[in-house]
Amino acid sequence: MANGYGQADAATIKKYLRGIEFPCSKDELIQKAQEEGAEDAVIEALSEMPDEIFESPADIVQSIGKIT
């Protein structure tokens, strides 16, 4: 999937969010990705997501799809 975030497609982002507990906020997603050593492109993509509560991985993928 080509997007403005290079390798930060949905599959890559989800890799860094494994084990996160739902529901969670955007800030929690960013913190988890940082803890897992995510590359800058992943953090940037997560930062572009809306400030909302995510109930499931599907919510995250849907939000990522809106910004790519």
Query: What is the reported pTM?
Result: 0.84
Contact 37, 12 (CB under 8 A): no
Given a cut of 80, whether residue 13 has pLDDT beyond it is: yes
Instruction: Give the pLDDT confidence score for residue 68 in this predicted structure.
Output: 59
- Which amino acid, 62? Q
Neighbour tally for 13: CB within 10 Å: 24
pLDDT higher for 4 or 46?
A: 46
Q: pLDDT tens digits for 24-65?
A: 999 999 999 999 999 999 999 999 999 999 999 999 989 988
